[in-house]
Structure 1
Amino acid sequence: MLTLRTLLLWSAATALHGQQSPPPQPQQQPIVCAHRGWLSPAQVENSLPVMEKTARAGVAMIEFDLRRSSDGRLYLLHDATLDRTTNATGPIRSKSAADLGRVHLREPETGRLAEAIPTFDQFLVWAQHQQIELMVDLKDAPPAQVVAALKRYGLLSRAILLTFEDATARAALASDPQVRVSILTKTQAEIDEALKTAGQHPIDLYLPRTAERALFQYAHQRGQTIITDLMDGPDQQFAANGEDVYRAYLKDRPVDILVSNHPEALRQTLGNLR
């Protein structure tokens, strides 16, 4: 049985790709989500120009990360420090918005400077004009602040707040009765506890990629949207072994949303598996 979230996501994908067929079962055709907004790790992560290319490639969802400046402004950045991905150093929490306005992202392979670190507001202005779903990894961003911004730009219904800790999940659930919250669950007991904690609040279940098939089946039986990721596993094996890697992984694993470092290739492969 398809969940409401899967139907909504399929509708978004239909609008993007012009598909006319009925929505496929989630284990046959999951929604593909671009990890850090890119089409491959060779690109700049959490970058608006890169996300534009990803959207144009037909990927239906992008995942991105949020961090706070010293004066509380939100920026797209994965790490707690600026060292790895920019031309600056030190914790982002030690920098003001004025400081960060002079910091640029770096291309991972060449080290060439790209655009300035995008603010969350800049991203939301861009996203308003895209038919794309949003997966927001909150990192240290306050859920209430994120939800307020999403509502201000009319994007709350297209977003999932990604949480990996209990305190963050509870804060996200308390931020708004309508916002979708993804909760990491590693056992059947944790799934039961997440559903009990959420009550009537809409939640998605993020299952570890390495979880047993039985856990995916259990989450599916509970009627929840299931998210997992393929990084550090099938994504890496795909180049050498082709689409059989994805076929083997998805066998008996009902999944609604797949987060991938190679979303365009994965989406094309999933089309071949139908």
Structure 2
Amino acid sequence: MKKYFGLLILLIGFQACQSQQSKGDGSNDGTGKLNRISVFNIADARQFYTWTADRIPMVSAHRGGPYPGFPENAIETFENVLIYTPAIIELDVAMTRDSVLVLMHDDELDRTTNGTGKVNEVSYEYIQSLFLEDMDGQLTDFKVPTLEEALLWSKGKALLTVDIKRSVPFEKVVETVRTTEAVSYAALISYTFPAAKKLHSLAPELMLSITIRNEEEIQRFEETGIPWDRVIAFTGLAERNWEFNEQLHQKGAFTILGVLGNLDRSAIARGDEIYVSFIQNGADILATDRPIEAAAAIRGLVPNQSSKSIYFKNAN
């Protein structure tokens, strides 16, 4: 008999996924129920990210999962994705001239807002005056959120992975995660082992998403001294074989495969069933620009799914 305890994943109103073309009418008017992931403490987060054979495959919404009408790195966009599927939300953090942490991927404001200039050269007051544009360049009514706002909103709704831009001090991000009591659901992204070591020294309690793409990088990670129960293994943007993913699973680590880019385009060209093959080959989380479609494809792999379900992470 299986024993279930610890992490509660609450999936409320699990609606049928719609295509990107028809998705635009799923507006965030507050009437749609959200699919939530609730993590109550850091022990639950570590348990969730510890691999077991009955793990539930998931999607990670790259830059929050932008779609037409929903710009990247916007809270409204995060909410739109959660209408269709529970998800990990990946977001980007930049810092203004007056040291306010905001959600922004680019160094400059021009592509994603109706403003101009570099984020680190303008004030937060100026950024507050702007509106976000979607990926087609259409202006929306949505504002640039602060990291604090995103962390507070996400509590009880989604797990986060936080991509820290080059000019942002790690210390300031860690401080914000701690003061908003987001330690249990906000993992920090690191692309290099020195950066991972620094983040772990600053906040040993936090989960880290660390790039581990081959056996050499497994060894280099182990040389950092960071425990395996603090790591989510990002295996890069190319599919890894089952044997490599199994090595990470034997360490207890979840794998995140970045399907954004070429692999997402392959799914568009060849059919969304390709997402299932990535999961069957050992990917646990698909980091994607198409979270709604990818989630629809892999949903059949989750047992006993219904319109209102409660899942517990299997402890054994």
TM-score bin, normalised by smaller chain: 0.7 to 0.9
8 Å contact from structure 2 (residues 114, 139) kept in 1: no
Provide the residue aligned with 1:119 in structure 2: 146
Provide the residue aligned with 2:159 in structure 1: 133
Provide the residue aligned with 1:12 in structure 2: 9
Aligned runs of 1:94-113 on 2, under 5 Å? 94-113=121-140
Aligned runs of 1:235-246 on 2, under 5 Å? 235-246=264-275
Note the alpha carbon deviations across 1:80-108, whole angstroms, 9 max, x for none: 11121111222211112222222221122
Q: Structure 1: give runs of 5+ residues left out of the alignment.
A: 1-6
In structure 2, relative to structure 1, the CA distance for the partners of 1:165 and 1:91 (3 Å cut) is: farther
Q: Structure 2: give runs of 5+ residues left out of the alignment.
A: 1-5, 15-34, 37-47, 303-316
Under a length normalisation based on structure 1, what TM-score does the superposition of the two structures give? 0.84
In structure 2, relative to structure 1, the CA distance for the partners of 1:132 and 1:212 (3 Å cut) is: closer
Give the match's secondary structure for 2:237.
coil
One-letter amino acid of the structure 1 residue matched with residue 208 of structure 2:
V
Alpha-carbon distance in structure 2 between the residues aligned to 1:164 and 1:244: 29
**Could you tell which deviates more after superposition, 43-52 or 208-217?**
208-217
In structure 2, relative to structure 1, the CA distance for the partners of 1:16 and 1:121 (3 Å cut) is: farther
One-letter amino acid of the structure 2 residue matched with residue 243 of structure 1:
D
Aligned-residue offset at 1:67: 0.4
In structure 2, relative to structure 1, the CA distance for the partners of 1:167 and 1:95 (3 Å cut) is: farther
8 Å contact from structure 2 (residues 57, 279) kept in 1: no
8 Å contact from structure 2 (residues 256, 285) kept in 1: yes
Provide the residue aligned with 2:244 in structure 1: 215
Q: Is 1:270 paired with 2:267?
A: no
Aligned-residue offset at 1:199: 3.4
- RMSD value over aligned CA atoms? 2.7
Provide the residue aligned with 1:59 in structure 2: 86
In structure 2, relative to structure 1, the CA distance for the partners of 1:207 and 1:76 (3 Å cut) is: same
Aligned-residue offset at 1:148: 1.7
8 Å contact from structure 1 (residues 26, 255) kept in 2: no
Provide the residue aligned with 1:206 in structure 2: 234
Note the alpha carbon deviations across 1:150-191, whole angstroms, 9 max, x for none: 222221111111111334222211121210011112221111
Name the count of aligned residue pairs.
261
Note the alpha carbon deviations across 1:133-155, whole angstroms, 9 max, x for none: 11111123322222221222221
8 Å contact from structure 1 (residues 12, 60) kept in 2: no
8 Å contact from structure 2 (residues 11, 86) kept in 1: no
In structure 2, relative to structure 1, the CA distance for the partners of 1:139 and 1:150 (3 Å cut) is: same
More helix by share: 1
One-letter amino acid of the structure 2 residue matched with residue 120 of structure 1:
L
In structure 2, relative to structure 1, the CA distance for the partners of 1:34 and 1:71 (3 Å cut) is: same
Alpha-carbon distance in structure 2 between the residues aligned to 1:81 and 1:94: 9
Note the alpha carbon deviations across 1:38-77, whole angstroms, 9 max, x for none: 2536631001111121222232311110001112110000
In structure 2, relative to structure 1, the CA distance for the partners of 1:41 and 1:262 (3 Å cut) is: farther
Provide the residue aligned with 1:166 in structure 2: 193
One-letter amino acid of the structure 2 residue matched with residue 135 of structure 1:
T
Identity of paired residues, percent? 25
In structure 2, relative to structure 1, the CA distance for the partners of 1:174 and 1:107 (3 Å cut) is: same
Under a length normalisation based on structure 2, what TM-score does the superposition of the two structures give? 0.74
Give the match's secondary structure for 1:220.
helix
Q: Is 1:74 paired with 2:101?
A: yes
